Amino acid sequence: MKSLPIAAGILLLCMGCAESISQQGTTTETAAAAGTVTAPDTAQSVDPQMDRFVGDLLAKMTLDEKIGQLNLVAVGFDVTGPVVSQNVDENIRKGNVGGVFNTFTPIAARKLQELAVTGTRLQIPLLFGYDVIHGHRTIFPIPLGLSATWDMGLIEKSARIAAEEASADGLNWVFSPMVDIARDPRWGRIAEGAGEDTWYGSQVARAMVRGYQGEDLTKENTVMACVKHFALYGAAEAGRDYNTVDMSLLRMYQEFLPPYKAAIDAGAASVMTAFNEINGVPASANRWLLTELLREKWGFDGLVVTDYTAINELVPHGLGTEAEVGALALKAGADMDMVGEVFLKHLAQAVKSGAVSEAEIDQACRRVLEAKYKLGLFQDPYRYVDEQRAKETIMKQEYIEAARDIARESMVLLKNEKQTLPLKRSGTIALIGPLATSQRDMIGNWSGAGDWKLAVSVEQGIKQVAGNSVKVIYAKGANITDDKQMIERLNAHGGELQIDTRSSEQMIAEAVKVARGADVIVAVVGESQGMTGEAASRADITLPGQQQELLKALKKTGKPLVLVLMNGRPLALKWEDENADAILETWFGGTQAGNAIADMLFGVYNPSGKLTATFPVEVGQVPIYYSYKNTGRPFGGEQLDKYKSRYLDVPNEPLYPFGYGLSYTTFSYSQPQLSQHTMLPSETLEVSVEVRNTGNYDGEEVVQLYIQDLVGTVTRPVKELKNFQNISLKKGERKTVTFPITIDDLKFYNRDLEYVYEPGDFKVYIGTNSRDVQEAAFTLRENQ
Ligand code: BGC
């Protein structure tokens, strides 16, 4: 049982003021009596009890106490656990803190919560946030990999498990999901999202929010989600992190904003601002974005927190002094200031000078308090600090098994010539490459609470799955990179890169020798986990260091060459695609990655993942995505026709398109059949296709449906994903897959930013990826 310093979570006794507040709604004082509270934002608040409760509380608060609630502080860690700095303790006691992040474990969180609840005048509990990005303690594949499962049930499950663990570990707020659409693989944070597609990204956004928040945020095993980074962070120019974004409203509405909106419609209770500017105004000071669009148009009634020191960064953005930008951010609609303490330092003075009104501070404070109310923290501030629950929940067997399963589902088979895979459980495997024995890289970037020492490496996984039936001989062959500066930078941030000081020639020679003595080469190559994620943009997206040289030398041995790739972004893999016999994309697969990879290699599991971000041939093609526009001079392969939209030196087509992924078996698709060739807006049209398993294994396939609107008042993409279905087919089996098409699948934003349909001709494409499709056509007519 939890020991509660306050009676059963109902009454918070206000020390020194003899007033009491209950989350159930009975109060001894009204907000009006205190005279300082603005009218509650009833238009947005749906819970009158919460309005009353928060209104009453606000009425009791001094200006300083209100400003204190807007302050979110980070509490650091050392290697043995949480370190609570004196400064934070003192600030909490002074009522200068609304929430903390980077503190977890029930003991550490309880300690801080006690300071807030017993040490401050109004006993307002703290929020406890953390970057729970792809699992909390049990780590799942990085989000880009998770999205490659094309399985909303599994994606939701990963978020649910993360919420179970995080909420048992002292946390009530996760800074996830990141729903930024990303089409430039140079941007390191492409690893943290669901890839390039608007419709698909919106499905993932909803699934994640459902997983974190469940049906009832007050439950002890649910946490508040935080949709980030609002907005357009993934569209940074040149793929360089934090860089400028300049984009038409039409494009924003059509392609970049829907996933944020989807997450909010799914009930996400908080939103994080982005670092970037949007059309000249940084997101964290952008009133159009944070108030007019988010609150007034979309009706968001939750909490807006800035990104890390994003208010301070408005100074170098060029918006004014620290005091000035603090006022700007608050007035724009930012409620909580992450780490920068600009609100804390400057808002009281800003009220005095008239730069901001107390009503504006009340509004921000109300949202912080409402978030706490929604989490049930006023009922029981210790709801998330139950040591027993932590012991029973964290990394339990069921979660470890889920991690293995989800990792398998996330892997994408990019190539498999001559059925090189699956491997036989006999003979000798040359296991080569800098990532073959790595445990640290398995859990990827942004896995702060994950213990990489518990992660399974590829070498360990192969041994566990194949046992003594195969002989494994290992050689490193190359370092991930030989760039000393990069190694230093990565290791300064937990990279754990083990650098072999032998020359590249020596390492390659050793690997070739090992390969010669084997039946097959499994080369585990790619990026180190720290090469993607925040502040990890790369201009060269080929395999780093000497890894390609290593592969070239291995290729010369004539042995079958299997690549196991680990990376957090699409890479440019032209040579690898032309020369390897098989390529398995495994991302950074999480706690169970090594076991999952071995399951795939030996055919315990048949790959079914599909890419959610296009892999280019060359970095010069980026940004590259399947849902491009035709242009007035589309290139159709006419080699001698110069004046077409094309490159002289590289193809327009990617290496691996969106939606791509092979299986150990093969599938054939019939021509799609439409239930009717004309459709009224009120009608549902059906399109069916027969899919047959034509190969030698049972398998799973993601059947994808794309639509093209041939004529519009604004130009429309050549294809847009609108639906998909996962099917399992036994060897030789066939199934008819039917998709409904409704008017919602045909809508888009017009020039006036209205979400409309326009009668006319459409094409529907069905296939195994966005490139290899079969088509049918229909006409949308207006209702009579
Ligand atoms: C990142 C956010 C993250 C925050 C808190 C920032 O640097 O952009 O995604 O949630 O830090 O750690």
For atom 5 of ligand 1, the residue with the nearest CA is 308
Q: What is the pTM of this model?
A: 0.94
Pocket of ligand 1, candidates 229, 230, 534, 537: which has the most ligand atoms within 8 Å of its Cβ, to mutate? 534
Neighbour tally for 178: CB within 10 Å: 25
Task: List phi, psi (to 5°) of 564.
Answer: -105, 115
Token output for 759 = 């009668």
Single out the residue of 694, 687, 691 nearest to residue 672, CA to CA.
687
Establish whether 151 is a catalytic residue: no
Single out the residue of 90, 119, 222, 116 nearest to residue 167, CA to CA.
222
For atom 6 of ligand 1, the residue with the nearest CA is 308
For atom 2 of ligand 1, the residue with the nearest CA is 307
Cα of 136 from ligand 1 centre, angstroms: 15
Q: What is the C-alpha separation between 709 and 764, in angstroms, rounded?
A: 9
Q: What is the C-alpha separation between 282 and 240, in angstroms, rounded?
A: 16
What integer pLDDT is reported at residue 23 of this predicted model? Answer: 57
Q: What is the C-alpha separation between 302 and 367, in angstroms, rounded?
A: 6
Task: List phi, psi (to 5°) of 91.
Answer: -65, -40
Pocket of ligand 1, candidates 305, 307, 336, 532: which has the most ligand atoms within 8 Å of its Cβ, to mutate? 307
Pocket of ligand 1, candidates 175, 224, 242: which has the most ligand atoms within 8 Å of its Cβ, to mutate? 175
Question: Which ligand 1 atom lies nearest to the CA of residue 192?
Answer: 9
Cα of 427 from ligand 1 centre, angstroms: 47
Q: Provide the CATH topology of domain 404-612.
A: Rossmann fold (3.40.50)
Angle between helix 198-213 and 258-265 (nearest 10) = 30
Question: Which ligand 1 atom lies nearest to the CA of residue 338?
Answer: 5
For atom 10 of ligand 1, the residue with the nearest CA is 175
Q: What is the C-alpha separation between 361 and 242, in angstroms, rounded?
A: 28
Cβ distance 559 to 566 under 8 Å? no
Pocket of ligand 1, candidates 131, 132, 226, 273: which has the most ligand atoms within 8 Å of its Cβ, to mutate? 131
Active-site entry in 56, 307, 335, 386 = 307
Question: Which ligand 1 atom lies nearest to the CA of residue 226?
Answer: 10
For atom 11 of ligand 1, the residue with the nearest CA is 308
Q: Provide the CATH topology of domain 667-780.
A: Immunoglobulin-like (2.60.40)
Q: What share of the chain is helix, strand, coil (3-state, %, to 5)?
A: 35, 20, 45
H-state helical runs in 384-523: 387-393, 397-410, 458-466, 484-492, 504-516
Classify 6 in phi/psi space as left (phi over 0), alpha (psi -120 to 50) or beta: beta
Cα of 73 from ligand 1 centre, angstroms: 12
Pairing of strands 734-741, 760-767: unpaired
**Single-letter code of the amino acid located at 365:** C
CATH code of the domain occupying 46-71+99-390: 3.20.20.300
Cα of 308 from ligand 1 centre, angstroms: 6
Cα of 140 from ligand 1 centre, angstroms: 19
Pairing of strands 561-566, 667-669: unpaired
What integer pLDDT is reported at residue 142 of this predicted model? Answer: 98
What integer pLDDT is reported at residue 77 of this predicted model? Answer: 56
Side-chain-side CA neighbours of residue 255 (13 Å)? 24
Cα of 128 from ligand 1 centre, angstroms: 14
For atom 8 of ligand 1, the residue with the nearest CA is 307
Pairing of strands 720-729, 699-709: antiparallel
Residue in this structure with the two tokens 């073959």, named with its chain if needed: 436
Cα of 704 from ligand 1 centre, angstroms: 34
Pocket of ligand 1, candidates 101, 308, 446: which has the most ligand atoms within 8 Å of its Cβ, to mutate? 308
Contacts of 760 (CB under 8 A, 6+ apart): 709, 710, 711, 712, 779, 780
Cα of 359 from ligand 1 centre, angstroms: 29
Cβ distance 174 to 263 under 8 Å? no
Q: What is the C-alpha separation between 142 and 188, in angstroms, rounded?
A: 12
For atom 12 of ligand 1, the residue with the nearest CA is 131
Question: Which ligand 1 atom lies nearest to the CA of residue 175?
Answer: 10
Single out the residue of 325, 329, 232, 242 nearest to residue 279, CA to CA.
232
Cα of 437 from ligand 1 centre, angstroms: 30
Cα of 115 from ligand 1 centre, angstroms: 25
The whole-number mean pLDDT for each consecutive block of 10 residues of the chain, a chain of 784 residues, reads 30 33 38 33 67 98 98 69 60 96 94 96 97 98 98 98 98 98 98 98 98 96 98 98 98 98 98 98 98 98 96 97 98 96 97 98 98 98 96 98 98 98 98 98 94 97 96 98 93 89 97 98 98 96 98 98 98 98 98 98 98 98 98 92 94 98 98 98 98 98 98 98 98 98 98 98 98 98 86
For atom 7 of ligand 1, the residue with the nearest CA is 308
What integer pLDDT is reported at residue 43 of this predicted model? Answer: 44
Cβ distance 600 to 462 under 8 Å? no
Q: Specify the 3-state DSSP secondary structure of 474.
A: strand
Cα of 614 from ligand 1 centre, angstroms: 25
Question: Which ligand 1 atom lies nearest to the CA of residue 228?
Answer: 9
Ligand 1 site residues (CB inside 6 A) read: 131, 175, 228, 307-308, 534
- List the chain domain ranges: 46-71+99-390, 404-612, 667-780
H/E/C letters for each residue in 549-585? Answer: HHHHHHHCCCCCEEEEEECCCCCCCHHHHHHCCEEEE
What integer pLDDT is reported at residue 298 of this predicted model? Answer: 97
Domains 46-71+99-390 and 404-612 share a fold: no
Question: Which ligand 1 atom lies nearest to the CA of residue 229?
Answer: 9
DSSP letters, 157-223, are HHHHHHHHHHHHTT--EE---B------TTSGGGGGS--S-HHHHHHHHHHHHHHHH-S-TTSTT--
Cis bond before residue 422 (omega within 30° of 0): yes
Cβ distance 370 to 303 under 8 Å? yes
